[in-house]
Every structure is written in structure tokens, then in C-alpha cells.
Structure 1
Amino acid sequence: MKQRFVYPNDGPFNHNFNWASIFHFLRFMMPYRKQLIGVTALALLGSVTQVLAPAIIAIAIDKAIQPRDGEASIRLLLMYASLMIVLCVLQMAVGRYRIRRMSRIGQQMISDLRSTLFSRIQSLPIRYFNSKPTGSIHQHITGDIAVLEDIIMNGTITLLMDILQLVGVITILLIWNYKLGALIMLTVPLVFAVSRFLRKRIRVSFQELRAKQACINAHLNDSIQGMKVTQAYEQEEENIRYFESINKDNIRAWDKASALNQLLIPVIQLTIVLGLIILFVYGSYLIQTGVMTVGLFVGYTNYIFNFWEPVQRIGQLYSQLLIGMASSDKIFGIIRQESADPEVEAKENISIKGEIAFEQVSFQYDNNKMALQEIDLTIKAGQMAAFVGSTGAGKSTLINLLCRFYDPDQGRVLIDGTDIRNIANDNLRSQICLVPQEPFIFSGTIRDNIRYGKLDATDEEVKLAATAVHAHDFIMRLPQGYDTPLQEQGGMLSTGQKQLISFARAIIANPRILILDEATANIDTETERNIQQALKALQLDRTTVVVAHRLSTIRDADQIFVLDHGKLIEQGTHQQLVHHVGSYRQFIEMQRYLAVGE
């Protein structure tokens, strides 16, 4: 089936461990090092109790069972049995407390990691979000974090205990009989050789799996947000077929990763059998020659299983770690992303008056197509300026540079004579307000959405802002007025009503520079006229930048800048430009022609 949508994957995939991600992860552990040391001590105690148990059984066989000394043997047997009970109770108590403590620490660490990841996402440049599907980012915050959570809470201490248990078992085997112990250990290199062979393949397969899952999330996000378009074009069946296609890709990726992962288990089981064969052949010889007792032989048998049991768990944890590494690469890759372009000698608490200047500004997006070419223009403080031009002329790009969503490739953007790169982003954007063409409504009440422009605004301020843009009447007709809850994207509101709320949000923010990017495109003419009256009062003490096509919006502008293919080709007032034969005059004549046609 032909693929309709192409979601960016995260390849090429890394075959090796990303040590930067490991060190970054260890850094998150540092605030909990005291608690982790305590848990490690408990893990050590638990490993000691587990390693001692087979040794006590071996001693009990040689000292209490095999001699058959009547009451003395029974007393010794009871003593060893009591010791075993104590060890079991101690192991259970330590294990239970260790799991509870590690769960608590793990939850705190994951909470810190999730907060750090979300905070980093808030500061990433717009360029990053243009290259990543929303569903893919969501996958990193939820799915990948969940994978790391499982590793932290179930994997790290288990891995430590297994390593400690292996060290203890190997030590005892070599002390009891170093020749027999060394022969049994000969099977270990086989496991490591196979693990090394499979490691890179398993790692890449799980990276591919995570990429497939991210594609599914991205398509789900697109499908839900675009449901109106899907149903309008009757593409439901096509959507289902496409989802089934990428879902099958995900299953195939899982089968591949799972098959590689499962290859470790039979190898470990084979080494267990080889170890037992060595023990039975050489151990029987040692018993016959009197070098080894029956108790030690039984102890060796138990220790072989005690040895390969943690090896098998380590193999499984290793696979889990590879899955976690695929997730951590994505998480810490985001955290290591550079935030929005850094300020140069950033200053705090600059009070903006509102003069705007573009000096020889050129800019291109990632597609290498020039969006702006050597733009020179100045907007005085308190003026209303309009950007006019056809689609793709560069109007919105100028707005993006002014808000510092991007930095120019050449030239400077100045506010009050200061390069905006010298102004801290939070200080700059606190005095600039953008009202986009497509309003965004957050989940919450209407009051919350308006107050988003000024979080400490009073209820009266919210009402005044809504009244100023003629939104109060329709809000009061809603079931709960200003306290009416809105779902994601404000589904119960019309596009025009959403835009009015967006206007009220901007007004309550009281910015020094107000930017309207086609902000009245979705509002009827009568409502726009009312808003224009409200905006006139607002524009008295602030600079207003307007991107619009309607003549009513731009004719009163102090300056009009006409753009074409990224170049500034005309500028002046409406009266100046309309009497000049050029692009603006053609634009106005087309507007009048369409108005007559209607």
C-alpha cells in the first residue's frame, strides 16, 4: 500500500551505548545518592543471605546428616535449620523494605526526570517542533519515561544484587575447589561471546521498535485532530487501512526485537547443562578420590543454579537495559537539545517603548529557500504598521523574527535600538503579545483562557477585557458563563468565538507591542468593526504590527510595508501607496472587485 504520510523517524540508529545518556542518567541519581547507598547496603545484605544458604546446607550434610551421631547430629541439624530460617526471615524482611524504598526513590527520580523533560520542551526553539510530530514528542514524555521507570524501580538494584551474588558464588566455588570452580567458569565466555554478538543487533532492533511506536502515536494524534477533515473527505476507511499498515510494521519490529532478545535464554540454559555435566563428571571423580565430600558436591550443585540464575536474569535485564537505552537516547537527546537561541549579554528588566527596526535582515528556513532578503524597515514607537503581500511573501517570517522564534541569518532585529538577542527572552516576550490567525484554546474555563495573558488578573479585569472585544455577550449565553469548561481546542466554540477569546487574552496582557497575524481573518465584518474600535484605544500607547488582507484593517495604518518573495518592494501610507501604480494598488483594486462581486 502506498504510504500517504511520512513521519520523521529517529534514525540512523546507534549501534553502541550512548555514554552521554548514561552519564546524564547518573547525574539524575546524584540527589538521591544517600538513599541509594542505603538501598545498596540492603541489597548487599540480601545477597549475602542468599549466598550463604547453599553453604549452610553443604555444611549441614557433612556435619549433621552424613556422620549419623544420634542426638549430636540432630542438635546440629536443628541448629543449621534454625540458622536457615533466620536467614530466610532476614532475607524476606530486607527484600520487602528494599523494594519499598527503591520504589519511593524511583518515583521521585522519574518525577524529576519528567519535570526536567517537560521544562526543556518549553524552552526548545520553534524550529525543533517544526521537525517533530506532536505524537512522537508525546511518546517520549509518556512511553519512554515509563520504560526508564521500570528499569529504575525493577532493574538497577536487581542487577546490583545479581552481580553481588555472582561475585559471592564464584568466590566460594574457587575457595572450595579452585580446579572444579575454574572448569565450571569455562562456560562463562560462551555467554559473553553470544551477548556481544547479539548486543548491537538487539539495541538497533529496539530503537527501530521505538521509532515505529512513535509513528503510531504521531498518526493517532493527526487522525484525532484532523477528524473533521477526514470525515468531510470520507477518508475513514483509508485512515483505518493506513493505521493497520503502520500497526503491522510495529508488530514486525516487535517480532524481530523479541526474537533476537530470546536467543540469549537458550544459550544460558545450554551453559547450565554444560556446567552440570562438568560437575557430575569431575565432581564424582573428586568424591571417589576423597578430595570432595558429598556436602560440597551438593553445595556445588546448588551454587551452579545460584550462579546461572542471576546470569539469566542479567541477560534479561541486559535486554531490558537495551530497551531503556533506546528510550533514554530519545529523552536525554531532547534534554541536551539547545534551547531557544541564546541571548548575547542578555539584560533583565528592559522596559520596551516599542520602536522596531529590521537592519539588512535575511533569513531562510531549513529548506534552503530564502524567506527574507535584506529587509530594512523602521516602525516608530506607538505606530501601527501593516505587512501586506501574497502568500509566501515573508510576512509571518517577519513576525517570527520579531518574537524571536527564530534568529536572522544575517542582519539584526532591534527594539528601541537594542538587538533583541541582547534582551532575555522572557523579558522580551512579556512585553510582546501575538494574536495568531489560528487561535489556541487550552483545556480549562473561559476565564482561565483569558487570564492566560495575565495569571494574576482579577475577575473584573477578565470581564473588562472580554467586553472590550465584544466577547462578553456570547460568554454570558454559555451555560456557566466565564466558568464554562472548555475541552481541548475549545470544540464547543466557533472559530470566531475562539478568536475573540484570543483577543481578550492579548488585551489583558497589556503588551508594549501588539502583533495581529491575520487575527481578524475568521471574524465577521461587524465583529471586526467593533474590535477595530476597541483596538484604536489600545493602540494609543503601544506599537501595533498587523498582518492582514482586509482593507478595513490596514487602511488606517501609519505605515504599510508591501512584501513580495521575501523582499520589501513598497512602503508608505495607504493614501501614498494607493496613488502609486504598484503591487499595493493592484491588491486594493482586487479587494474592491471581490467586494462588488459579493
Structure 2
Amino acid sequence: MSEPQITGKTYDAHLLRRMMRYVRPYKGIFVVSVVLTILMAGIAPALPMLVEYTLDRFILQNDTDGLRLMLLLMLGLLLLQTVIRYYHTLMTSTLGQSVIRDLRIAVFNHITRLRLKYFDHTPIGRLITRTISDLETIANIFSEGLIQIIGDILQLVVILGVMFYTDWRLTFIVLIPMPLMIGATYVFKEAMKSAFQDVRQWVANLNTFLQEHISGIGIIQYFAREEQEMRKFKTANAEHRNAHIRANWYFSIFFPVIEIIMAIALGLLVWYGSKQVLADELSPGVIVAFIMYINMIFRPIRELVDKFNTLQMGMVSAERIFAVLDTNEQTPNTGTKHPSTIRGEIIFDKVWFAYDEEKWVLKDISFKVNPGETLALVGATGAGKSSTINILSRFYEVNRGAIQLDGTDIREYELNYLRRTIATVLQDVFLFADSVASNISLNDPAITREQIIEAAKQVGAHDFIIRLPGGYDYKVQERGATLSAGQAQLISFIRALVHDPKILVLDEATSSVDTETEGLIQRAIDTLMKGRTSIIIAHRLSTIQKADKIIVLDKGEVKEMGSHQELLRIDGYYKRLYDLQFHSAGI
């Protein structure tokens, strides 16, 4: 359930440059955000300066008219700061959300194009974390991190400049506790770095755990594993809680320490400043202004730590997201052939295939299927039947040999064209949480409602569909939970039919349905196969007796090949399997 730990840097120029590519379409918003940040920093010391001027020139001089004017100026300044801060927050949030919208599209687009081998060893929950929560963390880089850090640093520079200009000696006195502040900040930053990495790690772990266990809830309940799995979840949840508590504990220590350091600076200011005022070397307005300056210096420094952590968390998330985007496990789409017609001739020429190196699943497989013929693959579980059809659609790449379609290596065809040419009906039907019609057409606008209904009638599923509430607009629940296995299988079969494939692949397509439904599908199969090249994988030999050619696979090797009658005459593996099935059925 764990994943490799990524040690993110607080600032990574390379990652930041990559993220800035996604900012380019919104450079106007970015520029406005930066300008507003500079304005906020520039006018930050204006209020203390006005307070100082008002106290020395009007309050101590009892000038009520001037005091009224200064109060109006202060009110106007506060309104201006409020407006700037409002638009600054709006712009940075808009920028952050726009960037992660584009990044999320890029991540999803990339994930959907990864070859199946990648998903064999990558937990789905981890990819969900990357696409959702990690991207939200990146948004904070723009709304609460990078631009805010620049603004706080600019504000510090401006305020310190004004303080030194006003009274350099008093400024030095105020800055005496600053080394303590810097030391505390550094220790806190390093501690938070580790804590936040643990938090992100356990968020990913929990997402992975929940995705796997909710998807497999049937197995958990069938085997009464609720209590055992709950104990595992409690352990993972406790680790997640502890990581958050550890992070919050550091905050609970850090902020009181900063308050103490601020109090020390304020005490030094009052001690030294009061002596200067009594000696008539300093005005009271300067002391009041410096009290305000202290808060304006220490508050950004205190918040800088939090914002650096936000930036650091964003960098960690960015590193993880770009690790997904940099995953070079896509099926190479180097082919360009896109012929107007496909005859459907399939040739496997000495094909070797392994999911892991040298652990061969298919060994030196060779056969030919002529256009319009039906090939059946039989064999025990693990013989290599499903692997054969997976490499035909290039979900996995062959290690040796070649597969040809109409005399052309399948790698020379444009990938989407190749896969649209082949329609596959699987044993494990997946239906989306959408309407029946959308599950059939997969939201392809080129497929009309009339075509869907016609295909359903051919399959024999039209009657049961129109009896559903809403008919073809009936909302199927996730994974087709509200339909029977037979109904879900029929819908998947209509899905294959309506896309009008040149090559049809049936992978145990009738194994999950009852005898009556199987009869409906078998009749539709007979109609659909006419004029199409078909490959059938089936354990029920009754469904493949009409096949033009039957291949018996065993441990990745072709053991027997021929028609049903030819294989029975051989009196080999197929004959034994046939006798076993039909004798057990009492035939």
C-alpha cells in the first residue's frame, strides 16, 4: 500500500518552470496578481506613517480640523487596501484554479492513454490522489504560496526601509531578537517538511485502501472479513491522524515562540523608545508607528513559514504529478495507416509475449485467420487465451515476432483506428454510472438513437430495455449494480455491435448469463459474425463447435489446431476436454 517517498524541495526551479508553462495562457491574470502584490507591499507602511504624522502634528497640537482630515485619509487608505486585497485574492484563486483545471485535464488525458501494464502495478487510489488532492495542493502555490511569499518579502523590504529611514538606531533595537526568530523558523520549517510529507503519504495510502476495499466489498462480505479489514483501516487511519497531529503540534509550539519573540522586541522598543521620548530625542508618534511596524514585520515572517510549507507541499505534489505525466508507458502511436476498408485477415507470426521479462505467457505462437472466419481459443486458465487478444489490440506489445492485419504489421496502423476496428466483449462487464444509451454509444455523437435501438433488437435486448424505468434513458448505477449479470452482458454486446466492428472478439462473453439469455446472445452472435472475422474465447465448447478453426493453448503454446471434427478425430487434449464437459452434463 505504500509508495516511494518523494523528498520535495521548498523551491525547485525546474518544477516551477514546468508549472509556469500552465500559467502562460493566463499571463494577464498572473501579471495583474503580481502588480496587486507590489501595490499591497508598497502601501503597507502608509498607515503607520499616517498614524505617526497624525499623533505628532494634530493630536498633540490639538488640531481637530487636521485630525478629521487625517482620519478621512486613513479611512480611504483602509478602503483602498481592502479593495486591492479583494482583487488580489480573486485573481490568485482564479489563477490557481485555472492552472489545476488544465493540469487535471492533462493528467487524466495521459492516464487514459497509458498501456494496461502500468495499471497492473499501480494502485488506482494513488492515481485518484494525484488527480484530485495533489492538484488541489498545487493550486495553493498560486493562491497562498508563491505570489504571497513574494508579497510578504516585498512588504518586509519596504517596511524595514521605512524604519531605517525613520530611525536606524530604534530599528536595530527592534531587530535584536531577529536571530531567535530566524532560528525558530528554520527548525520549524524542517520539522514541518517531514510532517507534511507523512500527511501526503498517508492521504495516498488511505485513498488506495478505500478504493480497493470498496471495489472489493463483495469479497469482504462473502468471506466475513469485515472485522479484519476494519482493523487494517483503523491502523491506516490512526497513522493518518498521527501525521496530522504531529504537524499541528509543531504549529502549537512555533506560534507561541514567535509571540514571545515579538513581545521581547516590543519590550525593547518601549524601553529604549521611552528613554528617547523623555530625552526629547524622539516623538511619541514614532513609537506608536514602530509598534505597528513590529506587527507588520513579525506577522509576514510568521506567515512566511506557513506559506513556505504550502509551497513545499505544492512542490511535493507537483513532483508526484509530473512523475505521472513523465511516465513513458504509453503504447507508441507511431502508425499512420488508416485504410478505408479492412478485410479482417489476421496472422500471428512466431509471436512471443511476456508481462514480465522472460516469463513467457505466449511462446512461438503462429496461426492465420482468413477474412470472415471464426477462430476459437480454448485451454485451461493461464494458457494465454486472453493475452492473445490483448496483444492483438496492442494493449500490450509483443516481445518477439509480429502480428499482421491484412498483411500489414499492426504497429503500422494508427492506434485508435486499430482499436476501433476490433470490438471486444469481455466476461467482466463494466458499465458506467450513466444512461443505458450512453453506455452503449459511449457518448459517440456519430451513433444515433435509431442505431442503438436497431442493435438492441438484433441482440434481443430491446424488450427488457424498454421495460426499465425510462427505457434507454434509464440511469445505470455504478458497474451496472441495478442490472442482472445477463442484462449487463447484453448491453455490453449491443455496445460492440453498434460500433460496427470489422473484427469481433468474445472473451467468455456468455459465461455469466443464464441459458435463456445465452440463447439470445448466441443468435445475435451468429448474425453478427457474418462477414466479420471473429475470435472467441470460451470454456463452454458448445459455443464454439461452429468455429472454422479451433486452437488449443496450453502454457502459452499451441498444442492442437483444426476444426471441431478434426480435433475430435485427433483424440487429444480437445477430445478429452469435450468428453469431460458433455459427459458431466449427461449428454
Taking structure 1 as the reference length, the TM-score comes to: 0.89
How far 1:189 moved relative to its partner?
4.9
Which 10-residue stretch deviates more, 112-121 or 275-284?
Answer: 275-284
Q: Does 1:422 align with 2:412?
A: yes
1:596 alignment partner, SS class: coil
Could you tell me which residue of structure 2 aligns to residue 432 of structure 1?
422
User: For residues 414 and 180 of structure 2, what CA distance do their matches in structure 1 show?
Assistant: 58
Could you tell me which residue of structure 2 aligns to residue 33 of structure 1?
27
- The letter of the residue matching 1:41 is V
Could you tell me which residue of structure 2 aligns to residue 311 of structure 1?
301
Q: Does 1:46 align with 2:40?
A: yes
Gap change, CA 1:15 and 1:43, over 3 Å in 2:
closer
Could you tell me which residue of structure 2 aligns to residue 265 of structure 1?
255
Gap change, CA 1:512 and 1:195, over 3 Å in 2:
farther
User: For residues 488 and 318 of structure 1, what CA distance do their matches in structure 2 show?
Assistant: 41
Could you tell me which residue of structure 1 aligns to residue 5 of structure 2?
12
How far 1:370 moved relative to its partner?
2.4
Task: Say what the alpha-carbon RMSD is for the aligned residues.
Answer: 2.8
Could you tell me which residue of structure 2 aligns to residue 3 of structure 1?
none
1:442-591 to 2 correspondence within 5 Å?
A: 442-452=432-442, 454-591=444-581
How far 1:201 moved relative to its partner?
4.4
- 1:413 equivalent among 380, 403, 408: 403
1:444 alignment partner, SS class: coil
How far 1:190 moved relative to its partner?
4.5
How far 1:296 moved relative to its partner?
2.6
User: For residues 201 and 355 of structure 1, what CA distance do their matches in structure 2 show?
Assistant: 64
How far 1:435 moved relative to its partner?
0.8
1:322 alignment partner, SS class: helix
- The letter of the residue matching 2:464 is F
1:132 alignment partner, SS class: coil
1:430 alignment partner, SS class: helix
User: For residues 346 and 173 of structure 2, what CA distance do their matches in structure 1 show?
Assistant: 80
How far 1:299 moved relative to its partner?
2.3
Q: Deviations over 1:400-419 (max 9, x none)?
A: 11111111233333222333
Could you tell me which residue of structure 2 aligns to residue 57 of structure 1?
51
1:139-538 to 2 correspondence within 5 Å?
A: 139-182=129-172, 184-185=174-175, 187-280=177-270, 282-283=272-273, 292-338=282-328, 340-348=330-338, 351-366=341-356, 369-452=359-442, 454-538=444-528
- On the 8 A contact 1:350/1:423 being kept in 2, the answer is no
User: Number of residue pairs matched?
Assistant: 586
- On the 8 A contact 2:347/2:404 being kept in 1, the answer is yes
- The letter of the residue matching 2:115 is P
How far 1:303 moved relative to its partner?
1.0
How far 1:182 moved relative to its partner?
4.7
- On the 8 A contact 2:376/2:544 being kept in 1, the answer is yes
Gaps in structure 1 of 5+ consecutive residues: 1-6
User: For residues 366 and 261 of structure 1, what CA distance do their matches in structure 2 show?
Assistant: 47
Could you tell me which residue of structure 2 aligns to residue 23 of structure 1?
17
- The letter of the residue matching 1:11 is P
Q: Does 1:84 align with 2:74?
A: yes
How far 1:576 moved relative to its partner?
2.3
How far 1:443 moved relative to its partner?
1.4
1:45-124 to 2 correspondence within 5 Å?
A: 45-66=39-60, 68=61, 73-124=63-114
- On the 8 A contact 1:183/1:278 being kept in 2, the answer is yes
Gap change, CA 1:93 and 1:454, over 3 Å in 2:
closer
Q: Deviations over 1:62-88 (max 9, x none)?
A: 33344x3x5xx4444344333222211
User: For residues 419 and 553 of structure 1, what CA distance do their matches in structure 2 show?
Assistant: 30
User: For residues 415 and 293 of structure 1, what CA distance do their matches in structure 2 show?
Assistant: 92
- The letter of the residue matching 1:31 is P
How far 1:438 moved relative to its partner?
0.6
- On the 8 A contact 1:454/1:508 being kept in 2, the answer is no
User: For residues 279 and 356 of structure 2, what CA distance do their matches in structure 1 show?
Assistant: 79
2:561 alignment partner, SS class: strand
Q: Deviations over 1:561-595 (max 9, x none)?
A: 22222222332222222222432222222222322
Gap change, CA 1:23 and 1:195, over 3 Å in 2:
farther
User: For residues 398 and 474 of structure 1, what CA distance do their matches in structure 2 show?
Assistant: 34
Gap change, CA 1:364 and 1:253, over 3 Å in 2:
farther
User: For residues 340 and 468 of structure 1, what CA distance do their matches in structure 2 show?
Assistant: 36
Give the fraction of aligned pairs with identical amino acids, expressed as a percent: 33
- On the 8 A contact 1:264/1:315 being kept in 2, the answer is no
How far 1:384 moved relative to its partner?
1.2
Gaps in structure 2 of 5+ consecutive residues: none
How far 1:194 moved relative to its partner?
4.4
Gap change, CA 1:192 and 1:437, over 3 Å in 2:
farther
- The letter of the residue matching 2:478 is E
User: For residues 503 and 100 of structure 1, what CA distance do their matches in structure 2 show?
Assistant: 50
How far 1:433 moved relative to its partner?
1.0
User: For residues 41 and 7 of structure 2, what CA distance do their matches in structure 1 show?
Assistant: 35
1:159 alignment partner, SS class: helix
User: For residues 256 and 401 of structure 2, what CA distance do their matches in structure 1 show?
Assistant: 64
User: For residues 136 and 21 of structure 1, what CA distance do their matches in structure 2 show?
Assistant: 21
Gap change, CA 1:560 and 1:516, over 3 Å in 2:
same
- The letter of the residue matching 1:25 is M
User: For residues 279 and 135 of structure 1, what CA distance do their matches in structure 2 show?
Assistant: 55
User: For residues 189 and 102 of structure 1, what CA distance do their matches in structure 2 show?
Assistant: 32
How far 1:526 moved relative to its partner?
4.1
User: For residues 335 and 280 of structure 2, what CA distance do their matches in structure 1 show?
Assistant: 82
User: For residues 349 and 40 of structure 1, what CA distance do their matches in structure 2 show?
Assistant: 53
Could you tell me which residue of structure 2 aligns to residue 4 of structure 1?
none
1:237 alignment partner, SS class: helix
Gap change, CA 1:279 and 1:463, over 3 Å in 2:
same
- On the 8 A contact 1:275/1:304 being kept in 2, the answer is yes
2:23 alignment partner, SS class: helix
Taking structure 2 as the reference length, the TM-score comes to: 0.91
- On the 8 A contact 1:454/1:509 being kept in 2, the answer is no
